[in-house]
Amino acid sequence: MSTTTGSHPSGGAATRPRGGTEAPARPIPLLRLVQVELRKMVDTRSGLWLLAIIAVLSVGAVVLFRLFGPEEGHTFYGFAGMALTPQAFLLPVLGILLVTSEWSQRAGLVTFTLEPRRGLVVVAKSIAAVVVGLLGLALLLAVAALLAAVAGSGDVWDLGARELGYFTILQVLAIMQGVAFGLLLMNSTAAIVLYFALPVAMNLLITFVEALRENAGWFDLATGQAPLFTQVALTGEQWAQLATVTALWIVLPLVLGWVRLRRTEIKTA
């Protein structure tokens, strides 16, 4: 677009579009990008069905635990922990689909044309993923509290700030693992297969190699996160192990995926 230069009140030259009627485009705010990413989760059948399955399994797990689980486990913490299991298993898949939809649905060209700041798009996707994870946590806590109130035997309100913090960390780490794997591979099938295959491979290694088994907390994500499923305060070593496996299995793939995204040419097919 051609421009004309006029006098600026401060004494400098000001450049403006010819005719003076067009204003420069404003950058898209982060909040709007997050809203778009949240809407994308329910715009596809796969995302919508996955959200429905997570909700049904979360509610179904605690209902079955109420009907058939041991009476002593019918507490707020017991119900919440039972509902957390299917969410911890499936939330990463949701994170994967959120990221890889740009390629599987061929929406990447539109997304990165409207918002060329790719880093901001990744941040928006990450925030949207965490929001969904926290909403899932709120759902399971509501159902767990309801069933704990119905159970009504003894001291059922045994979920304190520590346990709530552990659950929150688990939810955030679970869905961010999916975001990291999706960003690294940029392919839904490959990322989902890797997400399910890696724990199996790690479990086999830990089972058959004693040297690895003794130090599994430092490199195996499941082992490093295991203390978060207890009501006991973590030791300094356990926090260090959690930080290490988080850096290895979530932060590193996220960084490598971001580097790959910066260098990837966005195509329509």
pLDDT the model gives residue 235: 94
Give the DSSP H or E segment for 6. Answer: strand 3-7
pLDDT the model gives residue 13: 46
The region that residue 29 occupies, defined by phi over 0 for left and psi between -120 and 50 for alpha, beta otherwise, is beta
pLDDT the model gives residue 59: 87
Q: Which amino acid is at 79?
A: F
The structure's pTM equals 0.82
pLDDT the model gives residue 6: 46
pLDDT the model gives residue 114: 72
Instruction: Print pLDDT tens along the chain (269 aa).
Output: 444 444 444 444 444 555 555 555 677 888 988 998 888 888 778 788 888 998 899 888 888 888 888 887 888 888 888 888 888 889 999 999 888 887 766 666 667 677 778 888 889 999 999 999 999 899 889 988 888 888 755 577 888 899 999 999 999 999 999 999 999 998 889 999 999 998 888 888 888 888 888 888 899 999 999 999 988 999 999 999 999 999 999 999 999 999 988 887 766 44
pLDDT the model gives residue 193: 93
pLDDT the model gives residue 172: 95
- Pairwise CA distance, residues 34 & 40, whole Å: 10
pLDDT the model gives residue 154: 59
pLDDT the model gives residue 242: 96
